Copies of this chain bind each other. A is one copy, B any other.
Amino acid sequence: MEKQIEPRLLKGFRDFLPQMELFRRQIMRKLEKIFRLFGFLPIDTPVLEYAEILLGKGGGETDKQVYRFHDHGQRDIALRYDLTVPFARFMAQHLNELALPFKRYHIGKVWRGENTQRGRYREFTQIDFDIVGVDSASADFEILLLMFRSMAALGIEKFKIHFFHRGLYNNLLKHIGLEKKSIDILRAIDKSKKIGKENVAGLLKECGCGDHIERILSFIQPGVNFNETLENITAQIGSDSQEITRLHDIQQCIADMGLDNFFLLDPAITRGLDYYTGIVYETFLTDIPQIGSVCSGGRYNNLASLYTRAKLPGVGSSIGLDRLIAALEELKLLKEITETISTPLLILFLDQNLLSYYHQLAAAFHERGIAAEVFPVKKKLSAQFNYAQKKSIPLALICGELEMEKGSVTIKDLRSRQSYENLILEQAIAKVTELSPG
């Protein structure tokens, strides 16, 4: 006997069995449909790139987590750890081939050797969408609208997209003379939803904000609505700025589209990265806020500065598919997606002489776009019914030699155990259509 290898996975990596993979594909398809409606087009980039390209500036927390190695030609290479860096490289490299403004989406796996104890995976899927080559309120709003439509398309009803403008912090910090510490201050504020106001005060103290802590904390306090929040802001830094105009324009679009209930101007949203320069946003699910943001992003004024001198402003957002699916599972929304996607009909295999006939019956259903499968071998009925049950197939087609000669079949509903006998093929197709879920 051959020595056997234990079948196992690397820590932090997962297989997707059919049911879950069906969910995933269904979700990706629903999102793609939205992106395409808005004229966004898909791209793809390699999983492996030169480490120099992916790590660029380097030195960050991410670097240590990157899967990096030397290939057969001793090239220093790595697996992508997000879709943003490859996109920046892509834009720089193909600028002459693309129509600007460029609206793309990208769905792909990324890898980070993170600490799995925090329930993180080392292989996960991101869904990014961006508009590059223009700095406008229309583009900012379109990304927000896509985020709204994406959540709605997945059946999520209770959620809120929190947004703010990074430029307003710059104005505030300039006002109080703390602009040099802005990244540390913004990172502290970014944590406020997780660690609470008091702890943020502590962090601000560490940043050397001293006398200004109260002012900063009052700045990030949201009002009851857009106008009240904005008044609080403008009271501190003035209303005459392009940042304020931009927020007004966006809010106008939100209100005119009747989406006020789904958006919140929230000065506590900063996004940690120094990369963002304009509007920033995060999406929270009302019933499970603890899961964190399921869709976040913002405006940047220079996507690809590492690879090209061409200025590429843009705005975009990213959905973490794995976190989103965990959320849908918790909200009991995954089940709703499934029922329409199981095969409706199993054609039972009763007689070896009918092998070819069974496949012809199946073809008649396939021609109508109805999924139907032939049980692939003669076995006792209980085994075939058992298979149908395991695969959640609700209907069976029964046909023996006598029935074939008569040109009839029986359709059995495996849920109610009711049988419909002596159906000619057209009647059987009508019955299956009638009894199919979804």
Residue among A11, A90, A99, A113 facing the most chain B CB atoms (10 A cut-off): A99
A115-152: contact bitstring with B at CB < 8 Å (1 yes, 0 no)? 00000000100000001001111110110010001000
Binds B, one of A66-74, A187-195, A203-211: A66-74
- Do B256 and A45 have beta carbons less than 8 Å apart? no
- Do A309 and B363 have beta carbons less than 8 Å apart? no
The copy count of this chain in the complex is: 2
In this complex, how many residues of chain A approach chain B with their Cβ under 8 Å: the count is 113
- Do A22 and B37 have beta carbons less than 8 Å apart? no
Q: Give bound CA distance, A306 to B2, whole Å.
A: 8
Shortest Cβ distance from A41 into B: residue: B18
Question: A39 in the interface, Cβ–Cβ < 8 Å?
Answer: yes
Instruction: Please indicate the chain B residues that have their CB under 8 angstroms from the CB of A52 in the complex.
Output: 5
Question: A75 in the interface, Cβ–Cβ < 8 Å?
Answer: yes
Shortest Cβ distance from A33 into B: residue: B369
Shortest Cβ distance from A141 into B: residue: B359
- Do A10 and B359 have beta carbons less than 8 Å apart? no
Closest chain-B Cβ to A382's Cβ sits at a distance in Å of: 14
Shortest Cβ distance from A29 into B: residue: B29
Binds B, one of A226-234, A290-298, A371-379, A408-416: A371-379
Question: A180 in the interface, Cβ–Cβ < 8 Å?
Answer: no
Checking B92, B99, B109, B308 against A390 with a beta-carbon cut-off of 8 angstroms, the contacting residue is B99
- Do B355 and A9 have beta carbons less than 8 Å apart? no
Residues of chain A from 83 to 108 with CB closer than 8 A to chain B in the complex:
89-90, 92-94, 97-101, 103-104
Q: Please judge, given known A-B contacts A13-B46, A363-B257, whether A138 and B374 are in contact too, CB under 8 Å.
A: yes
- Do B359 and A47 have beta carbons less than 8 Å apart? no
Instruction: Please indicate the chain B residues that have their CB under 8 angstroms from the CB of A44 in the complex.
Output: 15-16, 21, 24
A-B contact pairs, 8 of them (CB 8 A): A4-B309, A14-B46, A18-B43, A21-B44, A37-B366, A37-B369, A141-B355, A253-B356
